[in-house]
Structure formats: C-alpha cells, structure tokens
Amino acid sequence: MITSSEFNLLELQNGSDIRGIAIATKNNELSLTDDRIEKISYGLLVWLKEMKKFDYQKNTTRVAIGYDSRLSADRIQNIIISTLTHLGVEVINVGLATTPAMFMSTQYKEFNCDAAIMITASHLPFEYNGLKFFTKEGGAESKDIEFILENADVKKITCSKVKGEVKKANLLKIYAADLIDKIKKGINNDENFDKPLIGRHIIVDAGNGAGGFFATEVLKKLGADISGSQFLDPDGTFPNHIPNPDNKVAMTSLQKAVLTHQADLGIIFDTDVDRSALVDNEGVTLNRNNLIAVISAIVIDENPGTTIVTNSATSEHLRTFIEELGGYQNRYLTGYRNVINQAIKLNTEGIQTSLAIETSGHAALKENYFLDDGAYLVAKILIADARLRKENKKLGSLIETLKQPIETDEVRFRILKEPIQENGLDTMDKLRLFVKEVPGLTIEHNNLEGVRVNTSEDYGSGWFLFRMSLHEPLLVLTFESDEAGKIKKLRQDLKEFFYAQECLDSSDL
C-alpha cells in the first residue's frame, strides 16, 4: 500500500489536466484523496502568485469553481472551497458547468474571475475525476500543471487573516444567453430575429454529462423543436453510453435517434462540452475527418487562404479537400493543447490560422479565444446551416467533395516493458527500417509524429500511422484504405514485424 507521504503528486498529471481515481473500486485504489486535493489547492495559489504574478495579499483573489455530472464532484469541490477560503480567496460556486464556460468566467464582466477550476475527467469512466485550470490568458499548460503539483505546499502560502467569501452564481445561464446572442446575430434573420431556429428539428444527446442545457436553454429558446433529445439529465453513472463524440456506440445512438424522429440534425457532446460532433438528417456522422471538413469549409469561406491546424491522424483526402477550397492544412501533433498552441504560434509568425482541431472533436477557433468549446463549434455550424438553407442546400453539401475512405481501422499495442517511452520510440525506429524493405510502402518524411506510411495500390492506395499514445502506455496503429479488403492484407503483412517485438502485446493485430 502506497502511503500519502510516498505518493508523488506528479502521477496525477495528465498532460495539461489533473486526473485520478476519485471513487475507489475493486480494481482501482483512490488516488484523488482529500489531502491531495487540498495540496493541489495550495499549488494553485503558488502558481497564481509566482507564475502569473498575481499578488493575492494585496488583491482579493476571485476563483470560480464548477463541475460536470461526476459523482465525486461534490467531495472535491467542498475540499477546494474550504481550502481556498481559508487562504482568503473569494470563491464563486457556479455548480454544474462546462469547461468552456469556466474559462468564460474569467472573461464575463459579471464574474471577472482571476482563475477558474473545472472538476472533470472528460469521457473517462465514472470512478475518475480531475481538474482543469484557467486564467484570463487561457488554460493551464502541461508545464503549469507540473509547477502546481511540484509546489503543492501550504508552507509557500501566507494565510490571510480574513476568510474568503463563498458566493453562488449561475454561470450556465449567462453562458447560454451569450450563445443565443451570437447565434441570433450570426443568422441575422430579419423576419424572425428572436426565433431563428423555428421550423428546425434538432436532437441533442448529452450523454448524461453537462451539455443538456444546450437543448433546453439554447436551442428551444431559439425556436427549435428539440423533441427526441436524449440523456439530457446529469448522471455520473453514465447509464446509457459513454459521453464521447469519438465513440462508435455513442454516435450510433445519436444516428438512431435522428433517423427515428426524422430530425434535421443531431448534436452530441462529451461530458464537459469541450468536444462535440453532429449527425445530419440522413444519418451521416459529422465527426472526425468529416467534422474537420465541415468547420474548415466554413472558416475558409470566411477567411480565404487561412490555415487549419489538425492532429496527425487525419486523412489524405482531408488535406486535398482543404487545399481545393483554398486553405492550407498544418498537420501537427496529437493533443488538443498541441494543435491550439501551434495555431497560436503560426499566427504570431504572420501565418493566418483560423482553426485548431483534433479528430477527437476538440475544436478551437481564433475568433473565440482559441478555446476548445463544443457548444461554440455547434453554434458556428448552426449559423452556416441557416445560410445554406436560404440557398436550398443542406449542411452535408459543405463536404460533398470530400472523398471518403473505403476502410479505416485501428490497433492499439500495449507496451509491456519499462521504460515505456524508450521502448516505444525504439519500436518506431525498427518499423521505419522494416518498411523500407517492403514493396508498396513509402515513409512520408514530412510527418511530425510517429511513422506515417503511404501505401500503393496493392494495399488500397491509403496510409497508416504508427505513433505513441499521448497519455497511455500504448502504441497506436491507424489505417486508411481506398479499397475494400486491403487493410486485412496489410495487417497480415505487418504481423512478421509486430510479432517479433517482445516489448509489445500484439494480440489484437
């Protein structure tokens, strides 16, 4: 048994988030314990003081805190509130919220918070929970999370003699009103300005996360028929399906609802609403490459010649689609913070970049603080949909020239031996050497992440990408082919290589 004193808080870091086990189960020991949450609260104030140069002794620090539907949220929130108020911080308890809304609490004049904390673990199973941090400048980076965890020590904090107040506020109400205002202005329907979505039947699937408000507090108030919407009530047991737009079961559930109710559109959110996806009236899923293509078409039309930053595992057909529209694709590294930071960097270098988006559904627009906001993304698409309807077109017309692959597949290889990173990189190096000896396979040298290989007609004129998982001890192999049955052949021909790698579990190949 690992004692609290032996536990390294850095084990809770998950990129630019903190994540851990918040509810003990048969297979998982509690890692987000009360004392560790308290220490993390200290670390937050040290970060604000030393990294963000905020003098919390001279100025009252105001921090908003909210959560999604997870069962452990109350426990975590109560500890953070108790700790921060003891240290003199004014806390705004906003209750149920979304991750994008929490950032906006640092922007809205009604809140004007110095920092915000979102209690969420995105789409992970119910026993997990975690923390995301924001200031007025944006979300915490990986280096910030590392600093917070390394400086989680009350000795570095001078306690205030005056206990901080706790106030309650309805952040989602103001956030929803903001979305309504933006959609109204975007559609600009003179005949029906207040109800521009009258006549539209739109289904929302919130997956029992925090996104149900979008149906009742946004779409319905804009005049849309939301009948058939499902799983809107927050429920941290997630009894229906994983709230994840990148999950096939979740997307199939939404497809079925749209077709059953003959809706015009279906919308799905992840638990904390920083990701989303759609289904059109014909049941076509608008996620992954299709979602990137839809929003790319919209922003390229508004910003000709702009660049779109994506993660590495996107289709060659997507690149062709973007370039034919007059835009440019910058295929970068996996990780939503990676693509966002790359987009920001390109803009500072004078390269017009309007969008950073991952196939997972994280989409951040320059016009919206480069904040990955699933609800704002949907609002942007609804505005474009209204314009298309005036031209007697449907949303799917935006991507009618996007070529679809015939086959896709993915295999995940668990790395069995330490050191994980070194073994993963060594395996990728070995694959590069193996591929050079296989006719019909060509390494793409401009690729920035992992090993990307283009395949000849013998393998369906497609590609595959072999890369390290961002957060798990895995290597991920993603396939795409333009001919049926060719991925099966490719998998068979790669078995010689993978079965020889003793550090991998290749049983799924």
Q: Domain spans of the chain? A: 9-169, 172-281, 287-404, 407-505
What does the pLDDT look like over 323-342, one tens digit per residue?
A: 999 999 999 999 999 999 99
Residues 6 or more apart from 389 whose CB is under 8 A from it? none
Average pLDDT of every residue of the chain: 96
Mean pLDDT of 26-51: 95
What's the pLDDT band for 490 if we cut at 50, 70, 90? Answer: very high
Confidence at residue 1, expressed as pLDDT on a 0 to 100 scale: 35
Please give the CATH superfamily to which domain 287-404 belongs. Answer: Alpha-D-Glucose-1,6-Bisphosphate, subunit A, domain 3 (3.40.120.10)
What does the pLDDT look like over 210-245, one tens digit per residue?
A: 999 999 999 999 999 999 999 999 999 999 999 999
For 126, other C-beta atoms within 10 Å of its C-beta total 18
Residues 6 or more apart from 357 whose CB is under 8 A from it? 291, 292, 295, 296, 308, 309, 310, 339, 363, 364
Is residue 2 pLDDT above 50, yes or no?
Answer: no
Torsion of CA 306, 309, 314, 316, to 10 degrees: 40
What's the pLDDT band for 154 if we cut at 50, 70, 90? Answer: confident
Is residue 468 pLDDT above 60, yes or no?
Answer: yes
Mean pLDDT of 466-470: 95
User: May I ask the CATH class of domain 9-169?
Assistant: alpha beta
Residues 6 or more apart from 457 whose CB is under 8 A from it? 440, 483
What does the pLDDT look like over 56-102, one tens digit per residue?
A: 666 789 999 999 999 999 999 999 999 999 999 999 999 999 999 99
Of 181, 183, 166, 131, the closest CA to residue 14 belongs to: 131
Percent residues over pLDDT 70 in the chain: 98
Q: Is the peptide bond before 234 cis (omega within 30 degrees of 0)?
A: no
Mean pLDDT of 257-283: 98
**Residue 161 burial class via C-beta count within 10 angstroms: exposed 0-12, middle 13-18, buried 19 and up:** exposed
What's the pLDDT band for 160 if we cut at 50, 70, 90? Answer: confident
- Rounded Cα gap, residues 188 and 214, in angstroms: 20
pTM: 0.96
Mean pLDDT of 197-207: 98
State the angle between helix axes of 34-50 and 73-86 in degrees (0 to 180), rounded to the nearest 10: 50
Do domains 172-281 and 287-404 share one topology? The answer is: yes
Of 123, 75, 80, the closest CA to residue 99 belongs to: 123
DSSP 464-476: EEEEE-SSSSEEE
* 363 in Cβ contact with 498 (< 8 Å): no
Residues 6 or more apart from 109 whose CB is under 8 A from it? none
Please give the CATH superfamily to which domain 407-505 belongs. Answer: Alpha-D-phosphohexomutase, C-terminal domain (3.30.310.50)
User: Among the listed ranges 145-154, 155-164, 187-196, 302-311, which one has the minimum average pLDDT value?
Assistant: 155-164
Is residue 4 pLDDT above 60, yes or no?
Answer: no
Architecture of the domain delimited by 172-281: 3-Layer(aba) Sandwich (3.40)
Strand 474-481: give its sheet, edge to edge. Answer: 441-443, 451-455, 463-468, 474-481, 407-415, 504-505
Confidence at residue 56, expressed as pLDDT on a 0 to 100 scale: 64
- Rounded Cα gap, residues 248 and 242, in angstroms: 10
